[in-house]
């Protein structure tokens, strides 16, 4: 997500060193979800700032989505007294699991068994907190 915001300022800096066509070709190949859109914008003559604003909007929406889920799920999951900060640590752990899954879970076996393992781990942890 955030690479969409970084790639075009990087392009402006690197355009002083590399030929523009070579730089854009490398960006289009390395980051295809941005490269395809940017290539289309090049062909139609539209400015690429729209892509950066779009990715910034996505990050903005995801932030408020996560904040809304945090405030919705905390009373539902941790309705009794709990140690200070355990809800923050739990949601931080969920976010880190999501991020690491995005980066590291690639094989068929890990895709099959990792969600089951994480589900059971979360259920056991929440059950432990409920009976604490």
pLDDT of residue 45: 85
User: Is 32 a residue whose pLDDT tops 90?
Assistant: no
pTM metric for this prediction: 0.57
Reduce the DSSP state of residue 49 to 3 states and report it: helix
Q: How many CB atoms sit inside 10 A of residue 85's CB?
A: 9
With contact defined as beta carbons under 8 Å apart, do 66 and 52 qualify? no
Residues sharing a CB contact under 8 Å with residue 24, sequence separation 6 or more, in sequence order: 11, 38, 39, 42
**73-118 pLDDT, tens digit each:** 888 888 877 788 888 899 999 989 988 888 788 889 999 999 999 9
With contact defined as beta carbons under 8 Å apart, do 87 and 77 qualify? yes
pLDDT interval class at 2 (50, 70, 90): low
pLDDT of residue 80: 77
**56-68 pLDDT, tens digit each:** 888 899 889 988 9
- Percent composition of the chain: helix, strand, coil (DSSP 3-state, to 5): 80, 0, 20
Higher pLDDT, 102 or 7: 102
User: Is 5 a residue whose pLDDT tops 70?
Assistant: no
Sorted by where each begins, the domain ranges of the chain are 3-53, 78-130
With contact defined as beta carbons under 8 Å apart, do 28 and 38 qualify? yes
Provide the Cα torsion 73, 77, 79, 84; round to 10°: -90
pLDDT of residue 81: 77
């Amino acid at each position: 997500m955030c690479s969409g915001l970084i790639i075009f300022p990087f392009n402006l800096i690197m355009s002083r060193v590399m030929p523009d066509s070579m730089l854009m070709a490398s960006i289009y190949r390395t980051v295809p979800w941005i490269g395809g859109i940017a290539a289309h914008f090049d062909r139609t003559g539209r400015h690429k700032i729209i892509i950066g604003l779009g990715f910034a909007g996505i990050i903005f929406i995801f932030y408020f989505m996560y904040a809304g889920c945090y405030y919705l799920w905390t009373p539902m999951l941790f309705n009794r007294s709990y140690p200070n900060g355990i809800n923050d640590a739990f949601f931080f752990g969920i976010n880190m699991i999501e991020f690491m899954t995005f980066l590291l879970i690639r094989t068929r076996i890990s895709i099959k068994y990792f969600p089951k393992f994480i589900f059971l781990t979360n259920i056991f942890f929440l059950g432990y907190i409920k009976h604490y």
